Amino acid sequence: MSFQIPAFAPALPEIIVMTMACAILVIDLYIAEERRGLTYLLTQLTLVIAALATLGGMPVEPQVTFSGSFIRDTMGDLLKAFIYLMAAGVFLYSRDYLRARKLFTGEFHVTGLFGVLGMMVMVSAHSLLTVYLGLELLSLALYAMVAYDRDSLQATEAAMKYFVLGALASGLLLYGMSMLYGVTGTLDLALLAERLADSDRGDPVLVFGIAFIVAGLAFKLGAVPFHMYLPDVYHGAPTAVTVYIGTAPKIAAFALTMRVLAEGLAPLHADWQQMLVVLAVLSLALGNVVAIAQTNLKRMFAYSTISHVGFILLGILSGTADGYAGAMFYAITYALMALGGFGMILLLTREGFEADNLDDFRGLNERSPWFAFMMLLLIFSMAGVPPTVGFYAKLAVLQAVVQVDMVWLAIVAVLFSVVGAFYYLRIIKLMYFDEVEDRNPLTAAPDLRLALSVNGLAVLLLGLFPGGLMALCIGALT
């Protein structure tokens, strides 16, 4: 048996991010506190270089390397590009917040880059082993980031809860993978699909393996009933970490679900489809109903995330190319909406004050009509109000569900979206119709204001002209 050196070119973006993260970790040790901005700039530069390497070397045909465990294809490259964009936005939005709380250190940026690396590995996984490695790299980074503020008991408690439940979910996923390996004798996702097509669908080991796999994926997505950690983690973590957790990892979780279910377990679509139907309905119901009772904006966004995960699952369970493209479009645009929503919290936050309660947005139109309008666009998009991109994303997913004759499921999703509109519109009522309580001027840096403005306007422009992004999603999956 001869050993062949694998092709490293398809994994060039991952190699760049890993190398730069290690270099930044060492460089940061020798930087004085007042020059910590250099770490931030190197981190952003890393994302730019990785984006150029990804988009500049996009393959015409999928490239598989590392003995079949890693794949580079159009879907992976497109999702990685948006992961870089979201991560860059998180680092930009978080900079002043971290400085005001004496948390602006290299550890945040390095851990964030290793989290990005984990997402990239998940996106390009072509083996169940690679899936698990990427997932654990991301998870370990997130556990550390949630507990980043060591003086906060709330953050420590959230990190412990996240770690314990995350370990349980990883165990479920790993156990399910071992069962699939026992039945098929392979970890390669392409070979897995081939062998499952010829296997006995009624094999109890196979049935239990699928159940464990779906349970593990549902936890990583934050779907009901595996959602219990999400509100506490969103609320307990520093807002800079919450915006990280709520954006790019959702794109990676979508990619993970596509690789495992839509590619590896494609022959068993009828089996996992029914499981996803239950998860989607429960997520839509609980996410939208419980969000109404929340007064903390981060907790409200956590339950909102759960409901949006329900919509992403609707697209995936359809099992069609249109459904997959709709779910991909939804995951990308939701990450963009969440980035802007949490960015607005960071905009209003100042030293010694966290603007994470609904009442903190009272009278925002009097303080800043422009940013009140940006928040209006973001909230309308989350609620699915035309002409914002959230409406088109929901429409694309619902069309895919209707096409597979699951009209009742589309009706359920629409009804719970109407319920969800209440807690979104409540924020708009506070901003435009309530008396202002906090008259302190907004002191955000010009680049943060510009980025937030672009973020809000992008939600509107993508809603008016969704064809370009949707064409990219469809092209990436064909």
Q: What is the pTM of this model?
A: 0.94
Q: What pLDDT score does 243 carry?
A: 93
Supply 417's token pair.
Answer: 């979206």
Q: What pLDDT score does 450 carry?
A: 93
- Residue boundaries of the structural domains of the chain: 9-476
Highest mean pLDDT: which range of 94-108, 183-197, 387-401: 387-401
CB within 8 Å of 440: residues ≥ 6 apart = 350
Average pLDDT estimate for 127-154: 91
Supply 16's token pair.
Answer: 């760049």
Instruction: Provide the pLDDT confidence category of residue 228 given band limits of 50, 70 and 90.
Output: confident
Query: How far is 74 from 80, CA to CA, in rounded Å?
Result: 10
The yes-or-no verdict on residue 119 having pLDDT over 90 is yes
Q: What pLDDT score does 151 carry?
A: 84
Supply 228's token pair.
Answer: 């219990």
The yes-or-no verdict on residue 22 having pLDDT over 90 is yes
Q: What pLDDT score does 3 carry?
A: 58
239-264 pLDDT, tens per residue? 999 999 999 999 999 999 999 999 88
The yes-or-no verdict on residue 374 having pLDDT over 60 is yes
305-315 pLDDT, tens per residue? 999 999 999 99
Backbone angles phi, psi at 254, to 5 degrees: -60, -45
The yes-or-no verdict on residue 170 having pLDDT over 80 is yes
Average pLDDT estimate for 186-213: 86
Q: What is the mean pLDDT of the chain?
A: 89
Higher pLDDT, 204 or 253: 253
The yes-or-no verdict on residue 288 having pLDDT over 80 is yes
Q: What pLDDT score does 444 carry?
A: 79
Supply 120's token pair.
Answer: 């990239």
Task: Tell me how crowded residue 58 is: count the other CB atoms within 10 A of its CB.
Answer: 14
> Residue 35, class by beta-carbon neighbours within 10 Å (0-12 exposed, 13-18 middle, 19+ buried)?
exposed
Q: What pLDDT score does 352 carry?
A: 65
Return the minimum-mean-pLDDT range out of 139-153, 198-212, 258-272, 330-344.
Answer: 198-212
Residue 70 near residue 11 (C-beta atoms within 8 A): yes
Closest to 57 measured CA to CA, from 45, 72, 79, 70:
72
Q: What pLDDT score does 393 carry?
A: 93
The yes-or-no verdict on residue 409 having pLDDT over 70 is yes
Closest to 345 measured CA to CA, from 337, 354, 336:
354
Q: What pLDDT score does 2 carry?
A: 57
Q: What pLDDT score does 114 carry?
A: 95
Higher pLDDT, 132 or 103: 132
CB within 8 Å of 311: residues ≥ 6 apart = 280, 284, 330, 393, 394, 397, 413
Residue 188 near residue 259 (C-beta atoms within 8 A): no
Instruction: Provide the pLDDT confidence category of residue 77 given band limits of 50, 70 and 90.
Output: very high
